Amino acid sequence: MAQEDALTEGKRFEASGLKQAGMMREIVVDTETTGLDALQGHKIVEIGCVELQHCVPTGNEFHRYLNPERDIPESAREIHGIDDNFVKSMPRFADIADELLEFFGDAALVIHNAPFDLGFLNNELKCCAKPPLSNPVCDTLVLAQDRFRGDRVGLDALCRRYGIDLSVRERHGALTDAHLLAKVYLELRGGRQQGIGFAEPLVKPFAEPLPVAPAEAKPSSQPSSQPSSQMSSLKGQSPQATEQRKERPPLRVLPASPEERVAHRALLAKIHQQQT
């Protein structure tokens, strides 16, 4: 699929991100290629995938170096360090396509600058006489652009913003970058707050729900003990506003389901492990 086609169908991933919160299984995907445009004959030389469950890596990965059946230009070698001699004995994309698709399953794909990687993946699938990917896609570049308008939102910049260690790589690598992106994605989803220690969980996983206020409170014959500062804030309001305040129903506290509690506890444990 052309990168332009991927962009035109971008509505399926442009606003995904947080809307895909219901997707429990997600795959972080990154590729290294021989060039920038699949339509000019450039191919994938490395693909790295990291499986997430509730935004937390499970340890399941898919990583392959590929023979692109063409030369790798020097400009590309300078980025990822993969040369012709290294990949000449590697499998072709067609040799691993079924295995890759099985690993993807119906999971949502998490990709930084999704049109680029989707363009290459779908072009490779087309060469194998296979249909394009139909998985939901979360473009973390779009998420970051929405959150940090006007700032740099490349993977390196986001890692530095969130204090993620970049020393694990000297050059771009698909699996290494997928692991880095998994950490960035967790941050973009609000999984960790900077500057807060995790000696204790932010939320007790199995805390009892807060008590719900009664629907109607009986009038008290005791004098009001409300501070004068609070009382003064009511002065100057119309009778209608005061009446609406009195009639406002109490807030309902909805306890998490058992499944949500288990997932949340696993997420907090993983975050705490990363912090220690």
Give catalytic residues, as residue numbers: 172
* Pairwise CA distance, residues 187 & 227, whole Å: 41
Q: How far is CA 171 from the centre of its chain?
A: 23
**Tokens 């990363």, located at residue:** 274
* Pairwise CA distance, residues 234 & 230, whole Å: 7
Q: What counts of helices (H) and strands (E) characterise the chain?
A: 12, 5
Residues 49/176, Cβ–Cβ less than 8 Å: no
Residues 138/20, Cβ–Cβ less than 8 Å: yes
Neighbours of 112 (CB within 10 A): 26
**Residues forming a β-bridge with 51:** 27
Measured in residues, the chain has a length of 276
The torsion angles phi and psi of 154, rounded to 5 degrees, stand at: -65, 165
* Pairwise CA distance, residues 7 & 28, whole Å: 19
Q: Classify residue 106 as exposed, middle or buried by CB count within 10 Å of its CB (0-12, 13-18, 19+).
A: exposed
